[in-house]
């Protein structure tokens, strides 16, 4: 078998991206938008990044049933047989289990990268080197590996992973603890300690190794997906997944497996990463004018500073902003959002409230 033929990339593209509301909505979430203004959606950028060093037949996308045609529109060269569809949003653990069983049925030596579809990677050469280093490690070790990002600020929007600094193997460290989204004081303590990393949500492991942990730690979910071994990579796969998926527990791979497993390792990575999770993360990345504003679309501003103003509405509609500071102004055909840049984590709660009040009309 040729070098690299056991390596697979699985791109998770089923999320709604609610903190990017009102641009990101259920019927057209953020991974299908050209958030960065480069002429390509985030999903397309992610696929292109992996296509540079993975065989194209070894790249899969997992998405919601309702997005499969959208995925194909953005990556027309990707066969539908490599677009895995979920009948319901059940968080990341079922998604990972599905992908691992499907790849194991195809190749018992499958060595996988699991990555979100909506992250920014500025240094793609460094990213490639880290991924290949990790794949080499997991091909020889029974390990669940994740990429950790060196923090540059006490951010409360990320999970943190503490690692053992002693005795790394090729820059790969044993994980000590996981902490989900700490308060500001604790995040500052983590930053000062020097042995905590942001959880990037990018994972590397052999399919057989992650499934061994599912059998141990999420046995009910493991048993459900194992029933389909004869169906994976056949015409019966979709019907089987549609039947068993709603029976799965809705839980993240972090909570369900990574925080409980004993054989977890991490690589401190530095390749210009952002999860592009919020409007503020986009503001931090985009070029700014002399008043530290990020402006997109048909926009005029006066006496305004440190603000993000985005017009995605009618091409004839002019947005004029006067006298704002540290603000988010997002105009779409259906919704106008005006908020504080420092309150960007609260957008998700707004979306939750809207779903209850308007039955999903604006979300």
Radius of gyration of the chain (CA): 21
Across 179-184, average pLDDT:
85
The confidence band for 181, taking pLDDT boundaries of 50, 70 and 90, is confident
Q: Is residue 113 part of a domain?
A: yes
Across 45-71, average pLDDT:
96
The CA dihedral of 162, 167, 169, 175, to the nearest 10 degrees, is -20
Q: Is residue 44 part of a domain?
A: yes
The span from the CA of 314 to the CA of 337, in Å, is 15
Q: Is residue 330 part of a domain?
A: yes
Secondary element (H or E) of residue 145: strand 144-149
Q: Is residue 284 part of a domain?
A: yes
The span from the CA of 174 to the CA of 97, in Å, is 23
Closest CA to 9 of 161, 117, 121: 117
Across 27-47, average pLDDT:
92
28 Cβ partners below 8 Å, 6+ apart? 70
Domain boundary among 245, 274, 303: 274
Residue 237's SS3 state is helix
Neighbours of 318 (CB within 10 A): 11
Q: Per mean pLDDT, which range of 81-85, 126-130, 168-172 is the poorest? A: 168-172
Whether the predicted pLDDT of 309 surpasses 80: yes
Identify the top-confidence range among 87-96, 186-195, 349-358: 87-96
Q: Residue 17 in contact with residue 121, Cβ under 8 Å? A: no
The CA dihedral of 276, 280, 283, 284, to the nearest 10 degrees, is -80
Q: Is residue 363 part of a domain?
A: no
Token pair in block for residue 335: 């919704």
* Residue that is written with structure tokens 């499934």 in the block: 211
- The verdict on 306 and 227 lying in the same domain is no
What DSSP state is assigned to residue 147?
E
Q: Residue 9 in contact with residue 27, Cβ under 8 Å? A: no
Secondary element (H or E) of residue 127: helix 124-140
pLDDT above 70 covers a percentage of the chain that reads 99
Across 267-282, average pLDDT:
88
Residues in the chain: 363
Domain of 18: which CATH number?
A: 3.90.550.10
Q: Give the pLDDT confidence of 133-163 residue by residue, as tens digits.
A: 999 999 999 999 999 998 888 888 888 999 8
Task: Find the domain containing 332 and state its range.
Answer: 279-358
312 Cβ partners below 8 Å, 6+ apart? 23, 296, 297, 330, 331, 332, 333
- The verdict on 49 and 23 lying in the same domain is yes
- The verdict on 256 and 160 lying in the same domain is yes
Residue 355's SS3 state is helix
pLDDT given for residue 166 in this prediction: 80
Across 56-81, average pLDDT:
96
Domain boundary among 258, 274, 290: 274
Alpha helix ranges (H) inside 249-288: 253, 279-285
Q: For the purposes of burial, counting CB atoms within 10 Å of the CB of 82, is it exposed (0-12), middle (13-18) or buried (19 or more)?
A: middle
* Residue that is written with structure tokens 């054989």 in the block: 263
Whether the predicted pLDDT of 1 surpasses 50: no
4 Cβ partners below 8 Å, 6+ apart? 53, 54, 55
- The verdict on 237 and 298 lying in the same domain is no
Across 42-53, average pLDDT:
96
| pTM reported for the whole predicted model | 0.91
Whether the predicted pLDDT of 347 surpasses 90: no
Which residues lie across from 206 on neighbouring strands?
Answer: 111
pLDDT given for residue 50 in this prediction: 97
- The verdict on 221 and 81 lying in the same domain is yes
pLDDT given for residue 2 in this prediction: 59
Helix, strand, coil percent values for the chain (each to nearest 5): 35, 25, 40
pLDDT given for residue 275 in this prediction: 84
Domain boundary among 241, 274, 307: 274
């Amino acid at each position: 078998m040729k070098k690299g033929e056991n390596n697979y990339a699985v791109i998770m593209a089923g999320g709604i991206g609610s903190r990017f509301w009102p641009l990101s909505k259920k019927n057209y979430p953020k991974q299908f938008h050209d958030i960065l203004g480069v002429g390509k959606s985030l999903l397309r950028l992610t696929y292109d990044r992996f296509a540079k060093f993975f065989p194209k037949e070894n790249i899969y996308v997992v998405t919601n049933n309702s997005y499969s045609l959208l995925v194909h529109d953005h990556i027309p060269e990707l066969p539908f047989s490599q677009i895995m569809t979920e009948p319901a949003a059940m968080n990341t653990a079922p998604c990972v289990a599905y992908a691992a069983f499907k790849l194991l049925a195809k190749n018992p030596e499958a060595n996988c990268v699991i990555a979100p579809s909506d992250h920014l990677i500025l240094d793609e050469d460094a990213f490639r080197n880290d991924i290949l280093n990790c794949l080499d490690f997991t091909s020889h070790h029974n390990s669940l590996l994740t990429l950790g990002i060196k923090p540059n600020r006490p951010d409360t929007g990320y999970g943190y992973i503490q690692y053992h600094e002693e005795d790394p193997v090729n820059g790969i460290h044993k994980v000590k603890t996981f902490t989900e989204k700490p308060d500001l004081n604790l995040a500052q303590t983590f930053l000062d300690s020097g042995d905590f990393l942001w959880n990037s949500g990018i994972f590397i492991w052999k399919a057989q190794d992650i499934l061994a942990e599912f059998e141990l730690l999420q046995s009910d979910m493991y048993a459900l997906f194992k029933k389909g071994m004869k169906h994976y990579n056949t015409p019966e796969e979709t019907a089987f997944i549609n039947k068993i998926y709603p029976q799965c527990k809705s839980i993240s791979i972090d909570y369900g497996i990574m925080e409980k497993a004993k054989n977890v390792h991490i690589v401190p990575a530095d390749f210009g990463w952002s999860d592009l999770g919020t409007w503020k993360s986009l503001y931090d990345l985009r070029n700014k004018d002399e008043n530290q504003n990020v402006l997109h679309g048909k926009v005029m501003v006066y006496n305004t500073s440190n603000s993000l103003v985005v017009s995605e509405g009618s091409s004839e509609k002019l947005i004029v902003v006067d006298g704002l500071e540290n603000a988010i102004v997002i105009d779409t055909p259906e919704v106008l959002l005006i908020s504080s840049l420092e309150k960007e984590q609260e957008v998700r709660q707004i979306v939750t409230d809207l779903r209850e009040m308007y039955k999903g009309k604006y979300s």
